[in-house]
Amino acid sequence: MSLDVLNLLAVFVAALLGGWAARRLGYPSILGELAAGIVLGPPLLGLLQPDDALAVIGKLGVVLLMLYIGIHLDPTSIGKAAKPGALAALGGFIVPAGLGFGLMMLVDGDPISAAFVAVAMGVTSLATKSRVLVDLGILNTRIAHVLMAGALVSDVVALVIFAGLLGFAASGSLAIGSFAVTGALTVAFLAVAWLVGSRVLPHVGRWLSNKKMDPSIRFLIVVSIGLAFAAVADAVGLHAILGSFIAGLFIREGVLPRDQLADLEAKTRLVSVGFLAPVFFVTAGFDVSFSVFTTDPLLLAGVVVLATVGKIVGTALFYLPTGHGFREGIAVGAGMNGRGAVEIIVAELALIAGIIDTTTFSILVFMAIFTTATVPVLLTRSIEWLRARGELTADVRSGVIVVGAAGVARRLAMELGGPDRVTLIDTSTAHRIVAESAGFTVVEGSALDADVLDRAGAREASTIAAVTGNDEVNVLAVQLAARRFGIPHLHVALSVDAPSSLLELVEALHARLLFGRAVDLPAWDVGAEDGSLSEVEYPITDVGIAITERGMPDEQPSRMLVLPLAVLTRDGRVPFDAGRPLEPGDVVYALGRQSTEGRTRVTGLHA
């Protein structure tokens, strides 16, 4: 086996471009990577070709991807919506899976192949809905918690069932004896994995955290642990992806310190999501056949329709016992309809194992693409429906936490509601004294300490803005706030020389960049402290206006004279960031080097 480096480069570039295009359209990267493989590979243009080396790289990529997903997910988040999340996951899996199994049994009568199709139709995509939830601004609603918990339960169940089906497939039948052996092996593996993960890994984690070693060495050791879990799962007849996924679930806070865990997660994401896994998804597109549109159009349509209707109706029906109403159940079902990485991985591995043929695989890929495309549309319409009826239930969260109490942080806190709404956190006694003299409540301590965040009101806060001069502290603080306390609105200040690993983590957290850009915060703090900066208002009079680093339209681009802090919208004041389009009637509050004293109103500002 030899590696065609030029072909690998072409596949990687295709993955980058496809993923970028998909993200620009509001979809997960894997859809763009799949599309790149379909368009540029054998199904259409034939510019990219499969080879054995690419298959090995892709398999390693998907194993590490599942390790990353396990590390990234927080199983404790299920507790935010345990009952409704479990019911949504159950109905959203059983009904479409049952419909898919019945359909495939009518078509070819192979129970093992039909079971694989059923699993693929039952899964959901965590990445798809998390992006839409951020865009809709509903991360602090009950629906968001149910969707995230439901997706986590659904994917774990799907992976366990898939691993068991591989054992059945290896025996060639669904005989009682085969079922019993595979079931016993699955239970034994999960039990041993739990014992090792809960009893052994914490000791390994403490040893790793106490050793002064290169973070890259620590990363390689954790990857080795993930591969070990994967190897054991593979050895007992399950699949490696189940092992690496479960290993990732145990690599969490408590096993490693927060800063080391954040660094590890960023590195794992970079290697898997950023390089190796896209190779897998591009090459998965090589196996798609467009002939299904002519040879089996009714089967394709049936799978897509049953997957969509089954997911939405099944979720809504099983959701009724929660007492939250059928309309909320439909909205949850619409959000869970998208398929993603797990579905494509299951389909590709089933194809490689010879359980399904190219036609069935192609149908599942197109089903993933079509159903995922419905999520932004159907979930948005569902949320608007609930909002119009006054049935969109939100968490009782209203507080704001600002990490940092230096000049810019205090100005931002004042613009976001002042002492009545905002609590500050800072390690500096001097900053605390100044902020308290302005009426603020200040918790002195590190925002990387969960107890400090708790004292600052993190359980009731809807927003956290980290505005210190330390990029790593800012990112880790919002990560802790999101994971431990479920704060939905995350805002981070970053310097112009922030490392790429932190930028990757900010993106993974779906956090927003404060001020709409990276800034030299210490320099602005000096101006805010010495009084050389004035408060400036920008009334927005035109659609599409964006405050750039030029600030005023007639200023020179090389001079950063304005630092946007907050925006007054029809829904209240929010931190300024690049993720929310400004609308006529909004007012941007900023710091600027103005010649006049006090607050300056700049009128007639147009795009």
SS (H, E, C) 298-311: HHHHHHHHHHHHHH
The beta-strand segments (E) located in 282-428 are 399-403, 422-426
- The CATH number of the structural domain formed by 61-388 is 1.20.1530.20
d(CA 131, CA 126): 9
Q: Note the residue count of the chain.
A: 607
Query: What single-letter amino acid sits at 91?
Result: G
Query: What does the pLDDT read at residue 131?
Result: 53
Query: What does the pLDDT read at residue 132?
Result: 58
Q: Which of 518, 550, 537 is CA-nearest to residue 590?
A: 537
- The CATH number of the structural domain formed by 399-601 is 3.40.50.720
Q: What 3-state DSSP class applies to 266? A: helix
Which residues of the chain register pLDDT less than 50? 543-560, 594-607
Q: What 3-state DSSP class applies to 285? A: helix
Query: What does the pLDDT read at residue 395?
Result: 58
d(CA 308, CA 324): 22
3-state DSSP: the chain helix, strand, coil percent, rounded to 5? 60, 10, 30
Query: What does the pLDDT read at residue 424?
Result: 96
**441-444, strands of its sheet edge to edge:** 441-444, 422-426, 399-403, 461-466, 489-492, 512-513
Query: What does the pLDDT read at residue 548?
Result: 43
For CATH 1.20.1530.20, the residue range(s) in the chain are: 61-388
Q: What 3-state DSSP class applies to 547? A: coil
Query: What does the pLDDT read at residue 563?
Result: 87
Contact yes or no for 444/432 (Cβ under 8 A): yes
Query: What does the pLDDT read at residue 389?
Result: 76
Query: What does the pLDDT read at residue 94?
Result: 92
For CATH 3.40.50.720, the residue range(s) in the chain are: 399-601
